[in-house]
A = this chain, B = another copy of it.
Amino acid sequence: MVDSVFMAELSWPEYQAKIKAGAPVFLSLGATEQHGPHSPLGVDVYLPTAVCERVARQVGGLVAPTLPYGAKSKPRSGGGEAFPGTTSLDVLTLILVVRDIVRALGRDGVKKIIVVIGHFENGWPAVEGIDLAFRDLAREGFDDVKIMRLEYWDFVEPATHHRLYHPKMFPGTELEHASLIETSLMMLVRPDLVEIDKAPDDGPAQFPSYDIWPTPEGFAPRSGVLADARGSTAEKGGWLMDDHVALITAAVKAEFGL
C-alpha cells in the first residue's frame, strides 16, 4: 500500500480501508492570491496543506486535495481583487463548493472532517457551506458525522508571538498578510519560492475601521504586503509550524477521541 497521507495518492481501496478504520479527513480551503513581490500566489495553498500533512501524520488522518481558489480577497485583509494574479470565487460559489465536498465526504462514510481555513476570506463562507452540508447529511440519515472548522493561524502559543514580535508590535491576524508569519512559514515549507530580498518596506498598511467601494487609490500598500515581511526566516517558520502542528493535533485528538 502506498504510504501517503494524501488522499489523491491513494487508490480507492486504500482510501476505503483508512476511512473504515476511522481516519479523519482534512480539507484545506486555499486561494490563488497575491502575497507580495517576494512570495508566490500559492501561499494560501502551500501553508495549510503543509500544516494538514503534518497533523494528519500525527493522528492517522488523510489530506483531501486543497481547494486552490478561495473567496474574493478584500482590500483590508489581502489587498483586494485588483492585484494581478488574485483569482477568486464569488462567495455564493465557494459556499456551494464547501457544501458539496463536505457532503460528498460524509456520504462516503467519513465521520471526522476537519475543514482548515488557509485564506482569511474563506472563513465565513466555509461556516455556511458546512452548515448546508450538515443539514443535507442529516436529512439523508448521515447523522453521526462530526465536523471541525479552524483557522490554522489561531493555533500559536502566546510565547511564540512574543519571540516573533516586540511587545505590542503584533499587527493582528488581518494585517499579517504576506508578512512576517506567512513569509517565515513559506521559507520553511517552500524556500525555493521566496525571494526575501524583495520584501518591501512600504507597510504597514494604515486601514480605517471600515470598508469602502470603490477601493480608493492607495488604500492598500502598492506591494500588497500589509505588514512587514523583513526579518522572516525559516527558523521562525519552524517555531510557528511546531505550534500549529502540536496545538491542532491536540485539539483534533481531544474532539474526535483519537
Please, how many angstroms separate the alpha-carbon atoms of A99 and B138 in the complex?
19
- In the complex, whether A234 has a CB less than 8 A from a CB of chain B is no
- In the complex, whether A171 has a CB less than 8 A from a CB of chain B is no
Chain B residue with the shortest CB-CB distance to A145: B213
CB-CB under 8 A for A100 and B150, given A11-B38, A125-B124 = no
CB-CB under 8 A for A35 and B11, given A69-B101, A146-B214 = yes
A210: chain B residues within 8 A (beta carbon):
148-150, 154, 251
| Contact of B100 with A8 in the complex, beta carbons under 8 Å | no
- In the complex, whether A246 has a CB less than 8 A from a CB of chain B is no
| Contact of B72 with A131 in the complex, beta carbons under 8 Å | yes
Residue with the greatest number of chain B CB neighbours at <10 A, chosen from A131, A149, A210: A210
A82-105: which residues lie under 8 A (CB-CB) from chain B? 83-93, 95-97, 99-101, 104-105
- In the complex, whether A198 has a CB less than 8 A from a CB of chain B is yes
| Contact of B40 with A11 in the complex, beta carbons under 8 Å | yes
- In the complex, whether A233 has a CB less than 8 A from a CB of chain B is no
- In the complex, whether A249 has a CB less than 8 A from a CB of chain B is no
Please, how many angstroms separate the alpha-carbon atoms of A13 and B34 in the complex?
9
CB-CB under 8 A for A32 and B7, given A93-B100, A148-B211, A209-B155 = yes
In the complex, which of the residues B9, B86, B130, B214 contacts A42, with contact meaning CB atoms closer than 8 Å? B9
Q: Can you name 9 extra interface pairs (CB under 8 A) apart from A12-B41, A42-B65?
A: A11-B34, A11-B40, A71-B128, A91-B127, A92-B128, A93-B93, A96-B96, A149-B211, A150-B210
- 9 tightest CB-CB pairs across the interface, nearest first? A8-B42, A65-B68, A150-B210, A12-B34, A16-B84, A124-B124, A91-B128, A15-B85, A93-B96
20 sample A-B contacts, Cβ–Cβ < 8 Å, listed by A number: A7-B42, A11-B35, A11-B40, A12-B35, A12-B86, A42-B65, A45-B65, A65-B68, A84-B108, A84-B109, A87-B104, A89-B97, A91-B91, A92-B95, A93-B96, A96-B96, A139-B139, A145-B213, A149-B212, A209-B251
